Amino acid sequence: MDDTRGLGLSRRGMLAASAATATVAAGTTPAGVLAAPARVPVPGKVPVRFSVNGKSAELSLDTRTTLLDALREHLALTGTKKGCDHGQCGACTVIVNGTRINSCLSLAVQHMGDEVTTIEGLGTPEDLHPMQAAFVKHDGYQCGYCTPGQICSAVSVLKEIEEGIPSHVTDDLEGEMRPTNMEMRERMSGNICRCGAYSNIAEAMAEVAGAEA
């Protein structure tokens, strides 16, 4: 697959081209200045196949490619964001086989045959997912960078409560789980928002859950 599919001549493309030019310029320095090629054997690319938002994706990737980079850099699905790239901020949250994970802490090769859902697969501008519509209505964002991860997490959190998965603030481990404000705040703690839209996010989630915020 063409790695730059759909990006066209974007700002990113221009930056990449500039970097390539810089590399060529560096290559004109006197012989012997450049370091010898590294001795570390570079493994060949490996085939990776999974489904993203209902469509099959077949890629040939360096083993080091994370699921996040496969989505953004190889499939041009840039809705999923790279924040910290270390699993601390949640901006990269996607849903794999019905479960939310940090796509930055997962290798693409670990996902052969998996079904991945990103923000682009939850809804479209013309046909928003109820959680997307609720985020708009309740102003659940300011700059918007963390929002795709927040929404993927929020959708999953309501499902996890329905499935009876306990959280740190669940009083009765064996009782019915309820989508209370405290539960949603605790369960969303893996998604950081620098703008501080938390209370509005909790209200959006409460509306979708049919609960009081």
CA distance 1 to 104: 22
Among 71, 77, 109, 151, binds other proteins (CB under 8 A): 109
Min separation Cβ 10 and other proteins, Å: 26
Task: Name residue 29's amino acid.
Answer: T
- Cβ nearer to other proteins, comparing 17 with 169: 169
- Cβ nearer to other proteins, comparing 8 with 41: 41
Among 8, 30, 37, 41, binds other proteins (CB under 8 A): 41
CA 89-94-96 angle, to 5 degrees, is 135
One-character DSSP codes across 154-188: HHHHHHHHHTT---TT-S-TTS-----HHHHHHHT
Distance of CA 52 to the CA centre of its chain: 12
Residue among 79, 122, 124, 123 at smallest CA distance from 103: 79
Residue 47 contacts other proteins per CB under 8 A:
no
- Cβ nearer to other proteins, comparing 75 with 108: 108
Q: Choose the binding region for other proteins from 28-36, 126-134, 138-146, 157-165 (rule: CB under 8 A).
A: 157-165
- Cβ nearer to other proteins, comparing 86 with 178: 86
**Residues within window 163-182 making contact with other proteins, judged by CB under 8 A:** 163-168, 170, 173-174
For residue 162, CA distances in Å to 21, 95, 211 come to: 54, 16, 13
- Cβ nearer to other proteins, comparing 7 with 198: 198
CA distance 68 to 85: 9
- Note the residues at the interface with other proteins (CB under 8 A): 40-43, 46, 62-64, 66, 85-87, 90, 93, 99-102, 104-107, 109-110, 153, 156-157, 160, 163-168, 170, 173-174, 185-191
